[in-house]
Amino acid sequence: MAALYSDILLDHFRHPRNYGELPAPDISSENFNPLCGDRIRIELTLNGSVVEDVRFKGDACAISTAAASLLTELIMGADLKEVAAISDDQLISALQSDIKPARIQCALLALEALRAGLKGRLSL
């Protein structure tokens, strides 16, 4: 795996940050990739429009898990408008790995779940 994935991706996969569930999330959304079976749920607690806490949980491959973990770090403490502005390229780039086209959906699973959860909060 080391030849395929960066140290950042491997570290987030082996030691995921913010893994678990929140007791009373303000936003909760799940996404499922029917092609591979990956499932990621992301939950946020807000203080006004700022992400006060975030957790993710799922059954997913190394790329999906690492991307979800990294995404939680990117959005912690951010305003929802900043969160909504995170691009596909920004998350993929943060993984610092050569994600093949067939695996892009894995890398974006958590971001798509987050976007779905934000739809009721923002005009996206």
The ranges assigned to domains in the chain are 7-118
pLDDT in tens, the chain (124 residues): 445 789 999 999 999 999 999 999 999 999 999 888 999 999 999 999 999 999 999 999 999 999 999 999 999 999 999 999 999 999 999 999 989 998 999 999 999 999 999 997 765 4
87 by Cβ neighbours in 10 Å (0-12 / 13-18 / 19+) ranks as exposed
CATH code of the region 7-118: 3.90.1010.10
Residues linked to residue 30 through DSSP beta bridges, in sequence order:
41
- Helix (H) or strand (E) holding 10, with range, is helix 7-14
Amino acid 4: pLDDT: 76
Tokens found for residue 20? 């678990």
pTM of the model: 0.92
